[in-house]
Amino acid sequence: MRLLLNIIWLVLCGFWMALGYVLAGIVCCILIITIPFGLASFRIANYALWPFGRTVVDRRDAGVGSVLGNIIWFIFAGLWLAIGHVVTGIALCITIIGIPLGIANFKLIPVSLMPLGKEIVDVP
């Protein structure tokens, strides 16, 4: 079931959402100081391509730097990516088949707003 949902996800919205994260990552990697944001964006792009069967958990070793970085991320990229997830999620929820995909899109909003201090792990 995960494979089928991931394939449908990839076709309907995963590719476009991942493209947005890759674009944000490239912009962040242009400046040396924002490279951690770019790396986090690339990790989320991978998750946005194939989300079913994986989840996001908080890292125990994340500290104050992650909080400050998340504030900066929220201002420059997180808000816009979250808006993309909201719009895509609403569009997917219009059809019955798209409801699970829309809910998955809404679950990506917290990590799109605050990616630092998070880790993507496989669900057993």
SS3 per residue for 23-71: HHHHHHHHCHHHHHHHHHHHHHHHHHHCCCCEEEEECCCCCHHHHHHHH
pLDDT at position 63, please?
Answer: 79
- Domain layout of the chain by residue ranges: 2-122
pLDDT (tens, 9 = 90+) of the chain, 124 residues, equals 788 888 988 988 889 889 989 998 999 899 888 888 889 899 999 999 988 888 888 888 877 888 888 898 898 888 998 998 999 999 999 989 889 889 989 999 999 999 888 888 888 8
- The answer to whether residues 45 and 21 touch, using CB atoms and an 8 Å cutoff, is yes
Q: Supply the pTM of this predicted model.
A: 0.82
pLDDT at position 76, please?
Answer: 84
